[in-house]
């Protein structure tokens, strides 16, 4: 076996271990918060050597940051990537919202929305982990606003739609559904949020855009 083959094997084993660790830490953080993570705990739960986990992450803070990055990738895959083939318009905004509600209600993360949980945990703190969580939030809000603005430019929303305000209200409904469902163990808030979001969107659409909101709803 050549030296490069041995090196490649070690790298792949390290990558597999890293994926295993982050797969667990994302679920823990969604329930207990990022402060619930520790190198020792993860090593014990996954029957790994603590030194091996330490070699991969180096510190609790790096483990937390890596968990935020991994959760971002999962979130994008569940909520954003499925929109790739949809043209700009209210239908794309509506699909984005429904993807988010499905991501939360299907408990892709055990504690519901990962970012709702860790935002509440780190909102008043400072430091790199706070900054990473805050940036993930900024990116999400900006994406929702941009999706609404692109729909306006495509003629689907009225010309004077306030994209930041509409995005704020939509996100508030989604997060309220997540919070109530997780706390009460009740899935019904998601249906309420979906109805509320549809009402908000319809109020801002042109006649053509309204058809994009109504068509998927009628087809379910």
Q: pTM to 2 decimals?
A: 0.89
- Whole-number pLDDT of residue 2: 59
CATH class, range 3-219: mainly alpha
Cβ-contact 23, 63 below 8 angstroms: no
Residue 14 has pLDDT above 80, yes or no: no
Rounded to an integer, what distance in angstroms lies between the CA atom of residue 114 and that of residue 24?
13
Where are the chain's structural domains?
A: 3-219
Pure H helices in the chain: 3-32, 39-45, 50-57, 60-75, 90-105, 114-122, 128-153, 163-184, 188-204, 207-219
Cβ-contact 61, 129 below 8 angstroms: yes
Vertex 137 angle, CA 182 and 112, to 5°:
15
pLDDT digit string, tens, across residues 20-74: 999 999 999 999 999 999 999 999 999 998 888 888 998 999 999 999 999 999 9
Residue 197 has pLDDT above 90, yes or no: yes
Strand partners, 43: none
* C-alpha torsion sign, points 47, 53, 54, 59: negative
Rounded to an integer, what distance in angstroms lies between the CA atom of residue 127 and that of residue 118?
14
Cβ-contact 17, 48 below 8 angstroms: yes
């Amino acid at each position: 076996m050549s030296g490069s083959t041995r090196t490649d094997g070690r790298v792949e084993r390290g990558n597999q271990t890293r994926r295993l660790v982050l797969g667990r830490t994302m679920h823990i953080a969604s329930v207990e918060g990022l402060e619930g993570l520790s190198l020792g705990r993860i090593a014990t739960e996954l029957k790994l050597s603590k030194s091996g986990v330490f070699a991969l992450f180096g510190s609790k803070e790096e483990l937390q940051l890596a968990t935020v990055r991994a959760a971002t990738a999962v979130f994008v895959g569940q909520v954003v990537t499925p929109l790739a083939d949809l043209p700009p318009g209210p239908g794309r905004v509506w699909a984005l919202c429904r993807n988010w509600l499905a991501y939360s209600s299907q408990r892709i993360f055990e504690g519901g929305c990962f970012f709702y949980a860790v935002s509440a945990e780190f909102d008043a703190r400072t430091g790199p982990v706070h900054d990473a969580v805050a940036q993930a939030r900024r990116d999400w809000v900006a994406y929702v606003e941009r999706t609404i603005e692109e729909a306006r430019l495509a003629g689907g929303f009225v010309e004077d739609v306030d994209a930041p305000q509409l995005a704020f209200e939509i996100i508030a409904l989604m997060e309220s559904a997540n919070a109530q469902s997780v706390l009460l163990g009740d899935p019904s808030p998601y249906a309420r949020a979906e109805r509320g979001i549809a009402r908000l969107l319809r109020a801002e659409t042109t006649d053509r855009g309204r058809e994009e909101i109504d068509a998927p709803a009628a087809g379910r």
